[in-house]
């Protein structure tokens, strides 16, 4: 029997890249490392899989080598299937179109064949800048109940000078209907901030894409949500669970530090189903004599002989004797020499910090050390 | 049509491991957890894959359920192949009757059809009970260079322990002239590691002969090797140097885990060129809390540590509450140690709950009579009420609730 509520997932892997410029220089937003062993896309992809979605397309644009490497055949998400599963959709260039899209609508136009081929009734569009573990089924149920044409998910969030650069804000009436859409309004205070997660019938999406492309309109926010707010039944769904939307390096830093909270970890990693990621087959973390670790998240393969506090250590990090790491995010395979001191630092993958180095940032401005640097 | 393979491996995983008591009550010995994220069989399986063997038959018959599920399609070891790969071989019914595996040689004999399906030149017969990293490909090269019929891997053991092993005496050209299973007066201290390479045609002949002998015990060490020696076949000893440990007893399982914390022990798990593969838990990194104190430990994903951990190995998803102390112990997946509990010199199996202020095990120096001291063991799924005391050497079985 055909599943009347079958959903097709589409993930945009390159949206908002410029918001984390340091981290997305050599990778997509989707493949930014997070939380000791994950990449951003793991949260979106696992949410979809935990919501029992069998077919997911990932739209790529540029720098997507690391993403391809991470996703592989989709086996870790149980998406390596004969029927459906994971589809990586690289830019499709031909004589007329360069393949590099200018907005969501144009990106979707490039994968129209993939969308049309699916037998799902609904389609969910998601980005990779949110750290959460949501269930699409509950959102779909509300979508059906309200007879909405498009349901867009938002979160109540405090906007400040830093994170309002990339925010779409909804105004909703009491029934939840979206009455106004503001794109990067530059306002501050608590708002209904879009999580760039929306659901609609696939047939509607196909129509909207064709219609907008014929008028050379390619922005989902401007040309669909904003332009049709009054003409269509647009509803907002407030997501009340844990969700960290990453719009700046500060957000990135804070969200990593939130992982040190057990309630947050339980909600994100356990209660709503697991977050899957690529496995690495490393040994469990090893603690040496006189190691001292407090309030930190430590991944497999780490070897700790020094001190670590209030930090997140990714897989395969080594901390030498007498070193002290505080308030830092240390990515995969970073090696920290003896007696080095790091405070408020973010080191990208494969960084080497030699012995007796001292690096100090500040909460509002963590020091960032780019991939494979030697200090 | 048969597509030929140069060699395949047969892994003997049928043993009950009765000396591990409650730990193997519902679990085959090769599936016993080891080293924070592994199971014993991961070492042999990873050795196979890293040595270039892509076809492995695993012979099971004792409590195979969890082992079968763990092996699955072999994907974690890269053994999900379209030709070959890993196969779990349990005893099955045949037209001429059915039988359990009666000894190691009989187990291979009953699967001759499986082996012949790959028409191998050589066959590696391995046991799934040991912790070691070994390149079988080098051993195969040795087997070929010596033009041998059978090559047995050997390791030098202390003289005083030699009577626990199959002892081999070989000449300076490595040729074996005597094999004695657990001899009372060993003539050498070269022990068989239970790792054999045979030229398949030879082995097949001896298996068939052994099968016809009604009185034979159908065992490699007792029948096949002595028969080949008696016939003047060429058996050679391949010397292995490095870490090798049988984890067949509570004490040796405990020691083998503790060896991982000793920087002097040559068993490196963090070795990109010789990875030990295992099924990975889907869990976040482990968390070490504000007042926690962790030293000399190995800790897997998903743990939450708020207490003290010293000289211990913690498997995935273990919780150590505030004020709890774990020393010189092995805590298997999903176990919770509640606040105020003290666990010392103990092996605690999966999904156990140790209640508040429980005392499990003791340090050897705290015990007056040394004979009363030993590792305390808590079986899988046991729930200890708050304040319970488990003495050294004591074993708690989940089905027999604690006294």
**What does the pLDDT look like over A113-131, one tens digit per residue?**
999 999 999 999 999 999 9
- CATH code for the domain in which residue B253 is found: 3.90.550.10
Q: Say if residue B256 is in the same domain as residue B292.
A: no
Size of interface A-B (CB pairs under 8 A): 108
Do A281 and B289 make contact, defined as CB atoms within 8 angstroms? no
Residue B273 assigned as binding residue: no
Q: In terms of domains, do B68 and B200 share one?
A: yes
Q: Tell me which chain B residues have a C-beta less than 8 angstroms from the C-beta of A314.
A: 285
CB contact residues (below 8 A), chain B span 8-37, against chain A: 35-37
Q: Decide if A337 contacts A355 (C-beta within 8 A).
A: yes
Q: A53 to each of A45, A46, A72, A79, B244, how far by Cα in Å?
A: 10, 10, 18, 10, 46
pLDDT exceeds 80 at position A344: yes
Distance from CA of A310 to the nearest CA of B (A): 9
**Number of domains within chain B:** 2
Check A265 against B284: CB less than 8 A apart: yes
CA–CA dist A112, A91 (Å, integer): 12
Domain shared by B316 and B208, yes or no: no
Identify the pLDDT of residue A266: 94
Here the ipTM equals 0.90
| Selected residue with higher pLDDT from B164 and A285 | A285
- When scoring A269, A279, A283, A325 by the number of chain B Cβ atoms within 10 A, the one with the most, hence best to mutate, is A283
**CA dist., res. B157 & res. B165, Å (int):** 9
Q: Is residue B235, in this structure, part of any structural domain at all?
A: yes
The answer to whether the CB atoms of A284 and B314 lie below 8 A apart is yes
Residue B318 lies in a domain: yes
Give the nearest partner residue to B294 out of A35, A282, A293, using CB atoms.
Answer: A293
CB contact under 8 A, A298 and B284: no
Write a three-state SS string for chain B.
Answer: CCCCCCEEEEEECCCCCHHHHHHHCCCCHHHCEECCCEEHHHHHHHHHHHCCCCEEEEECCCCHHHHHHHHCCCHHHCCCCCCCEEEEECCCEECCEECCCCCHHHHHHCCHHHHHCCCCCEEEEEECCEEECCCHHHHHHHHHHCCCCEEEEEEECCHHHHHHCEEEEECCCCEEEEEEECCCCCCCCEEEEEEEEEEHHHHHHHHHHHHHCCCCCCCHHHHHHHHHHHCCCCEEEEECCCCEEECCCHHHHHHHHHHCCCCCCCCCCCCCCCCCCCCCCCCCCEEECCCCEEEEEEECCCCEECCEEEEEEECCCCEECCCCEEECCEECCCCEECCCCEEECEEECCCCEECCCCEECCCHHHCCCHHHCCCEEECCCCEECCCCEECCCCEECCCCCCC
Query: Which residues in B lie closer than 8 A to residue A260 (C-beta atoms)?
Result: 287
Query: Considering only alpha carbons, which residue of chain A is nearest residue B291?
Result: A294
* pLDDT at residue A94 in the model: 59
The answer to whether the CB atoms of B290 and A295 lie below 8 A apart is yes
Q: Which of A36, A77, A299, A300 to mutate to test the interface with B (most CBs of B within 10 A)?
A: A300
Q: Which of A281, A305, A316 to mutate to test the interface with B (most CBs of B within 10 A)?
A: A281
Q: What residues contact B80, with CB distance under 8 A and at least 6 apart?
A: B73, B74, B86
Residue contact B299–A274, C-beta within 8 A: no
Closest CA–CA distance from residue B185 to any residue of chain A (Å): 41
* Contacting A residues, span 154-173, partner chain B, CB-CB under 8 Å: none
For residue A299, the chain B residues in CB contact (below 8 A) are 285-286, 301
The alpha-carbon gap from B260 to the nearest alpha carbon of chain A, in Å, equals: 9
**Residues in chain B closer than 8 A to A283 (CB atoms):** 35-37, 269-270, 276, 298
Helix H or strand E segment including A115: helix A112-117
Q: What is the pLDDT of residue B173?
A: 93
* Residue A66 Cα, gap to closest chain B Cα (Å): 20
* B232 shares its domain with B85: yes
- A275: DSSP letter: P
Rounded alpha-carbon distances, angstroms, from residue A81 to A69, A78, A87, A279: 18, 8, 10, 18
**Residue B24 and residue B85 in one domain:** yes
Pairing verdict, β A150-159 and A168-172: unpaired
Closest chain A residue to B78, measured at CA: A281
Contact A284 B299 (CB under 8 A): yes
Q: Which residues of B touch A316 (CB under 8 A)?
A: 270
Range of the domain at B186: 7-261
Any CB–CB contact under 8 A between A264 and chain B?
A: no
Whole-structure pTM value: 0.92
Q: How many Å separate Cα B81 from the centre of its chain?
A: 24
For residue B277, is it within any domain?
no
CATH number for the domain that contains residue B307: 2.160.10.10
CB proximity B357 to A under 8 Å: no
The reply, when asked if residue B90 is annotated as ligand binding, is no
Contact A294 B288 (CB under 8 A): yes
A35 in reach of chain B (CB within 8 A): yes
The residues, any chain, with a CB within 8 Å of residue A338's CB and separated by 6 or more, are A306, A320, A321, A322, A323, A355, A356
Q: Which residue of B has its CA nearest to A284?
A: B300
Q: How far is CA B133 from CA A260, A308, B113, in A?
A: 36, 32, 30
pLDDT (0 to 100) of residue A210: 93
| Residue B77 forms contact with A (CB below 8 Å) | no
Position A93 scores a pLDDT of 64
What per-residue string of b and e applies to B178-197 under the rule 16 or more CB within 10 Å gives b? ebbeeeeebebbbbbbbbbb
Tell whether B181 is in a known binding site: yes
Of A268, A294, A297, the CB nearest to B292: A294
The closest CB to that of B295, out of A269, A289, A299, belongs to A289
Question: In order along chain B (403 residues), what is the average pLDDT of each group of 10 residues?
Answer: 91 84 89 95 97 95 88 94 92 79 91 95 95 97 97 94 90 93 90 96 96 89 93 96 92 95 90 93 95 96 96 97 97 97 97 96 91 94 94 86 48
How far A294 CA sits from the closest chain B CA (Å)? Answer: 5
Residue A97 has pLDDT above 50, yes or no: yes
B261 contacts in chain A (CB < 8 Å)? 286
Residue A164: pLDDT over 80: no
Q: Which residues of B touch A278 (CB under 8 A)?
A: none
Please list, in sequence order, all residues whose beta carbon lies within 8 angstroms of the beta carbon of residue A96, skipping any fewer than 6 positions away.
Answer: none
Name the fold adopted by A286-369: UDP N-Acetylglucosamine Acyltransferase; domain 1 (2.160.10)
Q: Are residues B378 and B257 in the same domain?
A: no
pLDDT at A319: 97
Is B291 labelled as part of a ligand binding site?
no
* B282 within domain boundaries: no
Q: Decide if B105 is inside a domain.
A: yes
Cβ contact (<8 Å) for B300 and A300?
yes
Residues B300, B162: one domain? no
Q: Does the beta-carbon distance from B301 to A284 stay under 8 Å?
A: yes
> Considering the domain boundaries, does residue B212 fall inside one?
yes
B182 is in an annotated binding site: yes
Over residues A222-270, the pLDDT tens digits come to: 899 999 888 999 999 999 999 999 988 889 999 999 999 999 999 999 8
Q: Where are the domains of chain A?
A: 7-268, 286-369
Measured between beta carbons, the chain B residues lying within 8 angstroms of A50 are none
B257 and B303 share a domain? Answer: no
Report the topology of domain A7-268: Spore Coat Polysaccharide Biosynthesis Protein SpsA; Chain A (3.90.550)
Residue B78 within any structural domain of the chain: yes
Q: Residue B268 and residue B243: Cα distance in Å, rounded?
A: 10
**Is the Cβ of A284 closer than 8 Å to some Cβ of chain B?**
yes
Q: Are residues B137 and B207 in the same domain?
A: yes
């Amino acid at each position: 029997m055909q599943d009347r509520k079958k959903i097709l997932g589409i993930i945009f892997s390159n949206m908002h890249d410029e918001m984390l410029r340091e981290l997305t220089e050599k990778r997509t937003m989707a493949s930014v490392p997070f939380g000791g062993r994950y990449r951003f896309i793991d949260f979106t992809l696992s949410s979809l899989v935990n919501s029992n979605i069998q077919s997911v397309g990932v739209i790529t644009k540029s720098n997507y080598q690391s993403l391809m490497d991470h996703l592989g055949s989709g086996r870790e998400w149980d998406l390596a299937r004969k029927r459906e599963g994971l589809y990586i959709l690289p830019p499709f260039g031909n004589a007329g179109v360069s393949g590099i899209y200018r907005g969501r609508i144009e990106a979707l136009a490039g994968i129209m064949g993939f969308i049309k081929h699916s037998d799902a009734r609904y389609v969910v569009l998601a980005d990779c800048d949110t750290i959460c573990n949501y269930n699409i089924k509950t959102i779909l149920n509300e979508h059906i109940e309200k007879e909405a044409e498009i349901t867009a998910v938002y979160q109540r969030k405090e906007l400040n000078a830093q994170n309002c650069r990339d925010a779409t804000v909804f105004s909703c009436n009491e029934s939840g209907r979206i009455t106004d859409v503001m794109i990067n309004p530059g306002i501050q205070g608590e708002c209904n901030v879009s999580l760039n997660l929306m659901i609609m019938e696939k047939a509607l999406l196909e129509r909207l894409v064709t219609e907008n492309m014929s008028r050379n309109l390619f922005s989902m926010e401007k040309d669909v949500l904003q332009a049709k707010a009054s003409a269509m039944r647009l509803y907002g769904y407030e997501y009340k669970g844990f969700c960290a939307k990453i719009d700046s390096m500060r957000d990135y830093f804070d969200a990593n530090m939130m992982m040190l909270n057990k309630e947050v970890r339980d909600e994100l990693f356990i209660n709503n189903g697991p977050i899957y990621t690529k496995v690495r087959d490393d040994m469990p973390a090893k603690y040496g004599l006189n190691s001292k670790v407090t309030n930190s998240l430590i991944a497999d393969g780490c070897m700790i002989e020094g001190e670590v506090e209030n930090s997140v250590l990714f897989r395969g990090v080594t901390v030498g004797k007498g070193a002290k790491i505080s308030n830092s995010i240390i990515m995969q395979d970073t090696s920290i020499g003896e007696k080095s001191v790091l405070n408020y630092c973010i080191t990208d993958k494969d960084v080497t910090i030699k012995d007796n180095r001292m690096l100090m940032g500040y909460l509002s401005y963590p020091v960032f050390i780019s991939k494979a640097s030697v200090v | 049509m048969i597509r030929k393979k140069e060699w395949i491996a047969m892994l003997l995983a049928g043993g009950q491991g009765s000396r591990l008591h409650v730990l193997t009550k519902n679990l085959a010995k090769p599936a016993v957890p080891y080293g924070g994220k592994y199971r014993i069989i991961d070492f042999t399986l990873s050795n196979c894959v890293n040595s270039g063997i892509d076809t492995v038959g695993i012979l099971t018959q004792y409590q195979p359920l969890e082992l079968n599920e763990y092996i699955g399609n072999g994907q974690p070891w890269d053994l999900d192949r379209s030709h070959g790969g890993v196969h779990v071989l349990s005893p099955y019914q045949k037209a001429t009757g059915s039988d359990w595996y009666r000894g190691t040689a009989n187990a291979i004999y009953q699967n001759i059809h499986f082996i012949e399906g790959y028409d191998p030149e050589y066959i590696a017969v391995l046991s799934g009970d040991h912790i070691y990293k070994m390149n079988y490909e080098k051993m195969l090269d040795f087997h070929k260079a010596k033009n041998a019929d059978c090559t047995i891997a050997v390791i030098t053991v202390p003289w005083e322990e030699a009577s626990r092993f199959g002892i081999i005496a070989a000449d300076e050209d490595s040729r074996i002239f005597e094999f004695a299973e657990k001899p009372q007066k060993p003539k050498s201290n070269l022990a068989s590691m239970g790792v054999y390479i045979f030229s398949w045609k030879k082995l097949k002949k001896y298996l068939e002969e052994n099968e016809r002998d009604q009185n034979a015990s159908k065992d490699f060490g007792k029948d096949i090797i002595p028969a080949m020696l008696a016939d003047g076949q060429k058996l050679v000893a391949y010397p292995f140097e490095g870490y090798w440990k049988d984890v067949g007893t509570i004490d040796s399982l405990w020691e083998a885990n503790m060896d991982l914390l000793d920087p002097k022990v040559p068993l490196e798990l963090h070795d990109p060129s010789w990875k030990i593969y295992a099924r990975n838990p889907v869990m976040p990194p482990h968390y070490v809390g504000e007042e926690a104190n962790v030293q000399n430990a190995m800790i897997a994903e998903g743990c939450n540590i708020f207490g003290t951990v010293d000289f211990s190995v913690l498997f995935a998803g273990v919780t150590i509450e505030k004020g709890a102390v774990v020393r010189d112990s092995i805590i298997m997946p999903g176990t919770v140690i509640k606040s105020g509990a003290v666990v010392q010199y103990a092996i605690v199996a999966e999904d156990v709950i140790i209640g508040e202020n429980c005392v499990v095990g003791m340090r050897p120096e705290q015990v007056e009579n040394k004979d009363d001291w030993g590792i305390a063991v808590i079986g899988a799924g046991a729930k200890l009420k708050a304040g319970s005391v488990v003495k050294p050497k004591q074993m708690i079985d989940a089905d027999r609730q604690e006294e």
